[in-house]
Amino acid sequence: MSELATVTGKYQELRLTGVCRALSDLLTQAENNQMSYLQFAEHLVDLELRYRQQQRQDSNRRKADFPVLKQLEEFDFAHQTTITKRQVNQLLDFSFIDQRHNLIFIGPPGVGKTHLAIALGGKAIEHGYKVLFITALALVEALELSEMKGTLKKHINSLTKFDLLIIDELGYFPMTRQGMYHLFQLINGLYEYRSLILTTNKDFTQWGEFFKNDNVAVPIIDRLVHHAHIFILGGESYRLKNKRER
Protein backbone atom coordinates (compact mmCIF):
# COMPACT_ATOMS: atom_id res chain seq x y z
CA MET A 1 0.00 0.00 0.00
CA SER A 2 1.30 3.46 -0.87
CA GLU A 3 2.06 5.89 1.89
CA LEU A 4 -0.76 8.15 0.71
CA ALA A 5 -3.24 5.27 0.84
CA THR A 6 -2.16 4.44 4.38
CA VAL A 7 -2.63 8.02 5.56
CA THR A 8 -5.95 8.32 3.72
CA GLY A 9 -7.04 5.12 5.43
CA LYS A 10 -6.34 6.65 8.82
CA TYR A 11 -8.43 9.72 7.98
CA GLN A 12 -11.19 7.37 6.87
CA GLU A 13 -10.98 5.56 10.17
CA LEU A 14 -11.69 8.87 11.90
CA ARG A 15 -14.54 9.50 9.42
CA LEU A 16 -12.82 12.60 8.05
CA THR A 17 -14.28 11.89 4.64
CA GLY A 18 -13.78 15.39 3.26
CA VAL A 19 -10.06 15.27 3.89
CA CYS A 20 -9.92 11.69 2.71
CA ARG A 21 -11.30 12.56 -0.70
CA ALA A 22 -9.15 15.58 -1.33
CA LEU A 23 -5.92 14.77 0.43
CA SER A 24 -3.92 14.04 -2.68
CA ASP A 25 -5.03 17.30 -4.38
CA LEU A 26 -4.37 19.22 -1.22
CA LEU A 27 -0.84 17.85 -0.95
CA THR A 28 -0.08 18.92 -4.52
CA GLN A 29 -1.55 22.38 -3.82
CA ALA A 30 0.49 22.71 -0.64
CA GLU A 31 3.69 21.83 -2.46
CA ASN A 32 2.98 24.11 -5.43
CA ASN A 33 2.10 27.07 -3.24
CA GLN A 34 4.77 26.37 -0.64
CA MET A 35 2.16 26.52 2.11
CA SER A 36 3.25 27.01 5.69
CA TYR A 37 2.50 24.20 8.12
CA LEU A 38 -0.18 26.33 9.72
CA GLN A 39 -1.78 27.11 6.35
CA PHE A 40 -1.77 23.43 5.53
CA ALA A 41 -3.33 22.56 8.87
CA GLU A 42 -6.03 25.13 8.28
CA HIS A 43 -6.70 23.89 4.76
CA LEU A 44 -7.22 20.39 6.05
CA VAL A 45 -9.75 21.41 8.64
CA ASP A 46 -11.54 23.83 6.28
CA LEU A 47 -11.92 21.06 3.76
CA GLU A 48 -13.58 18.82 6.28
CA LEU A 49 -15.84 21.60 7.57
CA ARG A 50 -16.98 22.51 4.04
CA TYR A 51 -17.57 18.88 3.19
CA ARG A 52 -19.70 18.33 6.27
CA GLN A 53 -21.66 21.51 5.70
CA GLN A 54 -22.41 20.35 2.16
CA GLN A 55 -23.47 16.92 3.39
CA ARG A 56 -25.78 18.49 5.95
CA GLN A 57 -27.30 20.77 3.33
CA ASP A 58 -27.86 17.89 0.91
CA SER A 59 -29.52 15.90 3.65
CA ASN A 60 -31.71 18.86 4.68
CA ARG A 61 -32.73 19.35 1.07
CA ARG A 62 -33.85 15.73 0.81
CA LYS A 63 -35.76 16.00 4.08
CA ALA A 64 -37.46 19.21 2.91
CA ASP A 65 -39.41 17.14 0.39
CA PHE A 66 -39.87 19.88 -2.19
CA PRO A 67 -42.19 18.63 -4.96
CA VAL A 68 -40.10 20.41 -7.61
CA LEU A 69 -36.99 22.53 -7.77
CA LYS A 70 -37.71 26.26 -8.02
CA GLN A 71 -35.10 28.97 -7.89
CA LEU A 72 -35.49 32.60 -7.01
CA GLU A 73 -33.20 33.41 -9.91
CA GLU A 74 -35.80 32.01 -12.32
CA PHE A 75 -38.61 34.13 -10.93
CA ASP A 76 -39.72 36.76 -13.39
CA PHE A 77 -40.48 39.93 -11.44
CA ALA A 78 -41.38 41.69 -14.69
CA HIS A 79 -44.36 39.37 -14.96
CA GLN A 80 -45.25 39.31 -11.26
CA THR A 81 -45.33 42.98 -10.31
CA THR A 82 -47.45 42.72 -7.16
CA ILE A 83 -44.31 41.74 -5.24
CA THR A 84 -40.93 43.34 -5.85
CA LYS A 85 -37.53 41.74 -6.05
CA ARG A 86 -36.49 44.03 -3.21
CA GLN A 87 -39.28 42.73 -0.96
CA VAL A 88 -38.17 39.16 -1.63
CA ASN A 89 -34.47 39.97 -1.26
CA GLN A 90 -35.17 41.52 2.12
CA LEU A 91 -36.36 38.12 3.30
CA LEU A 92 -33.04 36.53 2.41
CA ASP A 93 -31.29 37.56 5.61
CA PHE A 94 -33.74 35.09 7.21
CA SER A 95 -34.33 37.34 10.18
CA PHE A 96 -37.96 36.28 9.77
CA ILE A 97 -36.94 32.75 10.75
CA ASP A 98 -34.74 33.92 13.60
CA GLN A 99 -37.60 36.06 14.91
CA ARG A 100 -40.11 33.25 14.37
CA HIS A 101 -42.21 35.33 12.02
CA ASN A 102 -44.45 33.88 9.33
CA LEU A 103 -44.80 34.66 5.65
CA ILE A 104 -48.20 34.43 4.05
CA PHE A 105 -48.63 34.49 0.28
CA ILE A 106 -52.21 35.09 -0.74
CA GLY A 107 -53.46 35.04 -4.31
CA PRO A 108 -55.25 33.23 -7.12
CA PRO A 109 -53.74 30.16 -8.87
CA GLY A 110 -50.63 30.49 -11.00
CA VAL A 111 -49.28 33.77 -9.64
CA GLY A 112 -46.12 32.23 -8.18
CA LYS A 113 -46.99 31.55 -4.55
CA THR A 114 -45.61 28.01 -4.47
CA HIS A 115 -42.62 29.00 -6.59
CA LEU A 116 -41.64 31.72 -4.11
CA ALA A 117 -42.24 29.47 -1.11
CA ILE A 118 -40.03 26.68 -2.50
CA ALA A 119 -37.35 29.09 -3.67
CA LEU A 120 -37.19 30.79 -0.27
CA GLY A 121 -37.15 27.39 1.43
CA GLY A 122 -34.21 26.33 -0.75
CA LYS A 123 -32.28 29.45 0.14
CA ALA A 124 -33.04 28.92 3.84
CA ILE A 125 -31.49 25.45 3.58
CA GLU A 126 -28.37 26.97 2.01
CA HIS A 127 -28.21 29.17 5.10
CA GLY A 128 -28.31 26.13 7.35
CA TYR A 129 -31.98 26.06 8.32
CA LYS A 130 -34.12 22.93 8.39
CA VAL A 131 -37.18 23.20 6.21
CA LEU A 132 -40.20 21.04 5.44
CA PHE A 133 -42.58 21.51 2.55
CA ILE A 134 -46.04 19.96 2.79
CA THR A 135 -49.42 20.68 1.26
CA ALA A 136 -52.18 21.59 3.69
CA LEU A 137 -54.13 18.56 2.52
CA ALA A 138 -51.28 16.10 3.08
CA LEU A 139 -50.52 17.70 6.41
CA VAL A 140 -54.05 17.43 7.72
CA GLU A 141 -54.35 13.84 6.49
CA ALA A 142 -51.07 12.92 8.16
CA LEU A 143 -52.09 14.56 11.42
CA GLU A 144 -55.41 12.75 11.31
CA LEU A 145 -53.64 9.43 10.83
CA SER A 146 -51.40 10.17 13.79
CA GLU A 147 -54.38 11.03 15.93
CA MET A 148 -55.91 7.66 15.10
CA LYS A 149 -52.66 5.93 16.04
CA GLY A 150 -52.48 7.96 19.22
CA THR A 151 -49.25 9.65 18.16
CA LEU A 152 -50.48 13.16 17.37
CA LYS A 153 -48.34 14.83 20.03
CA LYS A 154 -45.25 13.02 18.83
CA HIS A 155 -46.05 13.95 15.24
CA ILE A 156 -46.47 17.63 16.10
CA ASN A 157 -43.24 17.48 18.07
CA SER A 158 -41.40 16.04 15.09
CA LEU A 159 -42.66 18.95 12.96
CA THR A 160 -41.33 21.49 15.44
CA LYS A 161 -37.83 20.19 14.71
CA PHE A 162 -37.90 22.19 11.47
CA ASP A 163 -36.97 25.86 11.60
CA LEU A 164 -39.39 26.58 8.79
CA LEU A 165 -42.53 24.75 7.80
CA ILE A 166 -44.03 25.54 4.40
CA ILE A 167 -47.74 24.77 4.25
CA ASP A 168 -48.91 25.00 0.66
CA GLU A 169 -52.44 25.49 -0.61
CA LEU A 170 -54.36 26.15 2.56
CA GLY A 171 -57.97 26.79 1.71
CA TYR A 172 -58.09 24.88 -1.59
CA PHE A 173 -60.10 22.07 -0.05
CA PRO A 174 -62.74 22.16 2.61
CA MET A 175 -61.46 20.93 5.91
CA THR A 176 -63.30 18.88 8.48
CA ARG A 177 -63.72 20.15 12.01
CA GLN A 178 -61.37 17.46 13.14
CA GLY A 179 -58.76 18.45 10.53
CA MET A 180 -59.02 22.04 11.60
CA TYR A 181 -58.57 21.12 15.22
CA HIS A 182 -55.38 19.18 14.43
CA LEU A 183 -54.11 22.08 12.37
CA PHE A 184 -54.82 24.38 15.27
CA GLN A 185 -52.81 22.19 17.61
CA LEU A 186 -49.87 22.28 15.21
CA ILE A 187 -50.05 26.03 14.69
CA ASN A 188 -50.28 26.49 18.42
CA GLY A 189 -47.16 24.36 18.86
CA LEU A 190 -45.26 26.41 16.31
CA TYR A 191 -46.46 29.80 17.51
CA GLU A 192 -43.54 32.11 18.39
CA TYR A 193 -41.30 29.03 18.31
CA ARG A 194 -40.95 28.23 14.61
CA SER A 195 -41.68 29.96 11.32
CA LEU A 196 -44.26 29.18 8.72
CA ILE A 197 -44.66 30.03 5.09
CA LEU A 198 -48.26 29.69 4.13
CA THR A 199 -49.71 29.89 0.65
CA THR A 200 -53.43 30.31 0.20
CA ASN A 201 -55.98 31.41 -2.34
CA LYS A 202 -58.22 32.84 0.35
CA ASP A 203 -57.80 36.27 1.83
CA PHE A 204 -58.58 36.70 5.47
CA THR A 205 -62.05 38.02 4.89
CA GLN A 206 -62.89 34.60 3.43
CA TRP A 207 -61.05 32.55 6.01
CA GLY A 208 -63.97 32.46 8.37
CA GLU A 209 -66.00 30.86 5.61
CA PHE A 210 -63.25 28.36 4.79
CA PHE A 211 -62.95 27.43 8.42
CA LYS A 212 -66.75 27.23 8.54
CA ASN A 213 -66.89 30.04 11.10
CA ASP A 214 -65.85 27.54 13.65
CA ASN A 215 -64.57 28.91 16.91
CA VAL A 216 -61.28 27.21 16.11
CA ALA A 217 -60.83 29.54 13.13
CA VAL A 218 -60.33 32.72 15.09
CA PRO A 219 -57.44 31.52 17.24
CA ILE A 220 -55.80 29.87 14.20
CA ILE A 221 -55.95 33.07 12.18
CA ASP A 222 -54.89 35.08 15.18
CA ARG A 223 -51.72 33.05 15.70
CA LEU A 224 -50.90 32.88 12.00
CA VAL A 225 -51.28 36.56 11.37
CA HIS A 226 -49.59 37.82 14.52
CA HIS A 227 -45.93 38.43 13.48
CA ALA A 228 -46.69 37.67 9.82
CA HIS A 229 -45.45 39.35 6.68
CA ILE A 230 -48.42 39.19 4.34
CA PHE A 231 -47.98 39.38 0.58
CA ILE A 232 -51.05 39.71 -1.55
CA LEU A 233 -50.20 38.58 -5.04
CA GLY A 234 -52.33 39.30 -8.06
CA GLY A 235 -52.00 39.48 -11.78
CA GLU A 236 -52.34 36.94 -14.50
CA SER A 237 -51.55 33.27 -14.04
CA TYR A 238 -48.05 32.44 -15.26
CA ARG A 239 -49.39 29.15 -16.56
CA LEU A 240 -51.80 30.96 -18.87
CA LYS A 241 -49.09 33.34 -20.01
CA ASN A 242 -46.96 30.40 -21.10
CA LYS A 243 -49.86 28.83 -22.97
CA ARG A 244 -50.56 32.03 -24.86
CA GLU A 245 -46.96 32.50 -25.93
CA ARG A 246 -46.68 29.02 -27.40
Binding mask 20-59 for ligand ADP (x = CB under 6 A): ----------------------------------------
Residue closer to ligand ADP, measured from CB, 109 or 219: 109
| Chain Cα centroid distance, residue 172 | 21
**Part in contact with Mg ion (CB under 5 A); list of ranges 2-10, 29-37, 110-118, 128-136:** 110-118
Contacted entry of ligand ADP, Mg ion, none for residue 76, CB cut-off 5 to 8 Å set by kind? ligand ADP
Residue closer to ligand ADP, measured from CB, 112 or 121: 112
Candidates 193, 216, 196, 217; CA nearest to 205 is 217
User: Does 238 engage in binding with ligand ADP (CB under 6 A)?
Assistant: yes
Segment 77-136, which members bind ligand ADP (CB under 6 A)? Answer: 79-80, 107, 109-115
Shortest separation between residue 16's beta carbon and Mg ion, angstroms: 43
> Which residue minimizes CB distance to Mg ion?
114
Segment 178-207, which members bind ligand ADP (CB under 6 A)? Answer: 199
Contacted entry of ligand ADP, Mg ion, none for residue 110, CB cut-off 5 to 8 Å set by kind? ligand ADP
Among 8, 60, 102, 114, binds Mg ion (CB under 5 A): 114
List of residues contacting ligand ADP (CB under 6 A): 70, 74-76, 79-80, 107, 109-115, 199, 238-239
